[in-house]
Amino acid sequence: MEIIHLILGKANPDRMNGVNKVVYQLATKQAEFGEKVAVWGIVSDKEENYGSRNFETRLFLKTSFPFFFSKELKEAILEKKGKAVFHLHGGWIPVYFLLAKLLYRHNIKFVITAHGAYNTIAMKKSSMIKALYFRFFERRILETADSIHCIGKSEVHGLKKIFKKDNVVLLPYGFVNNYPVETKGPNKENIIFGFIGRLDIYTKGLDTLLHAFKKFHYNYPDSKLWIVGDSNERETLQHLISKNHLDKNVVLYGSKFGDEKNELLQKMDVFVHPSRNEGLPLSVIEAASFGKPCIVTDSTNIGHEIANYNAGETIYSQNENKLEAAMVHMVKVFNDPGAFVVMQQNAMRMVQEEYNWEKLLLKFRNNLYHM
């Protein structure tokens, strides 16, 4: 049985779209695992502007009306009846309503991963519109799906408040780092905190991060904060940096990919991700795989693992004072080379044990796809 991932986009890992990055790595690992796998993307253009990959990629042009899909996509889906299970990625996507209806009507198996879209906090955003949309559209997708895949416990809790069914599967994604990593004590006096991700100020907690860093910076004036990423909120974020007189110590790098991003990540000392809402942030797992201790909120759905492995600090509310205290604690660890190396190794061990693709792919096959 073939696994076909259906997404908006081209599963290009060199983009800021987290869903596309995750689907790329999932499909890659499934192919390596011996699965027959493909990615089908609904796109604005069919230019193959992505690198080589070990799985088939098919692109279908989106239509002008968000609920409709092309005749080509319909014919391709029907041709796969009895031959494939479809894996839809993303929540609150209008075209999925009619796609799910088509799949269900023709008895074609499908599962859906919302990637954090059903978290309680995510549901509060445009809550009245979402309540109506859920009643008439989203609920019907979930009712006809063979399995609903959640990647974090907060999404399971959020989903249970609006939809009760026993076909919910909680599974994280795996991660593997193919870059050489060396753990060693700091060879400089000044700590560098870092963030990598989409510049969504509220959702990612970047406002809290700047306020906490301002307080921290008062006592550690040579410390640095590097922010890597981009969005239409970059100018607003730069204004917040200037307003708090942090221009000399906070650097906005914009989007970086590949070796350029990894070089910046390796130069960071501690990774910070104070998000208000997440599915499962790949950036945190990636940073930990580079041996970076992480400061996260519990809303990231990785806070329990960070605390359990002593791989950094977890704060349990969106609070600048608590975030500052976590930074101060990390400075103390940073100034103890032996303790800092142990924490680096803990972060890498956490990724190797909790996000091991070989173990997780068996669970995907048996518990999610029921193959």
Pairing of strands 147-150, 312-315: unpaired
pLDDT band of residue 257 (cuts 50, 70, 90) is confident
Going edge to edge, which strands form the sheet with 224-228?
Answer: 250-254, 224-228, 192-196, 270-273, 294-297, 312-315
User: What whole-number percentage of the chain has pLDDT above 90?
Assistant: 79
3-state secondary structure of 63: coil
* 286-320: pLDDT as tens digits: 999 999 999 999 999 999 999 999 999 999 999 99
User: What mean pLDDT is predicted for residues 259-282?
Assistant: 93
Task: Give the Cβ contact number of residue 294 at 10 Å.
Answer: 28
Over residues 174-223, the pLDDT tens digits come to 988 888 887 777 777 799 999 999 999 999 999 999 999 999 999 999 99
Beta-carbon contacts of 157 under 8 Å, excluding residues fewer than 6 positions away, are 120
On the question of a common fold for 2-174+356-368 and 192-354, the answer reads yes
What is the pLDDT at residue 116? Answer: 85
* Res 342: pLDDT: 96
Give the mean pLDDT of 9-36.
Answer: 90
CA distance 149 to 172: 9
pLDDT at position 127: 75
Q: Which residue has the tokens 């990637």?
A: 115
Contact in structure between 370 and 146 (CB atoms under 8 Å): yes
Assign domain 2-174+356-368 one CATH number from 3.40.640.10, 3.40.50.2000, 3.40.50.261, 1.10.3720.10: 3.40.50.2000
Strand partners, 84: 2
Give the CB-side neighbour count of residue 318, counting CA atoms within 13 A.
Answer: 16
pTM of the complete model = 0.88
The topology under which CATH files domain 192-354 is Rossmann fold (3.40.50)
For 126-185, the DSSP string reads THHHHHHHIIIIIHHHHHH-SEEEESSHHHHHHHHHH---S-EEE--------S------
Q: What are the angstrom distances between the C-alpha of 119 and each of 116, 132, 154, 197?
A: 6, 17, 6, 19
Per-residue pLDDT band at 121 (split at 50, 70, 90): confident
Is it the case that residue 277 has pLDDT exceeding 90? no
d(CA 215, CA 245): 12
pLDDT of residue 154: 87
pLDDT at 296: 98
Q: What is the pLDDT of residue 186?
A: 78
pLDDT at 117: 85
Residue range 89-95: mean pLDDT, rounded: 95
Q: What distance lies between CA 61 and its chain's CA centroid?
A: 25
Domain boundaries, the chain: 2-174+356-368, 192-354
CA dist 186 and 183 (Å) reads 9
Q: What percentage of the chain has pLDDT greater than the value 70?
A: 99
pLDDT (tens digit per residue) in 24-69: 999 999 999 999 999 999 999 999 999 899 999 999 999 999 999 9
Instruction: Tell me how many degrees the CA angle 339-291-341 measures, rounded to the nearest 5.
Output: 20
The mean pLDDT of the chain is 93
Average pLDDT over residues 3-25: 90
User: Between 227 and 128, where is the model more confident?
Assistant: 227
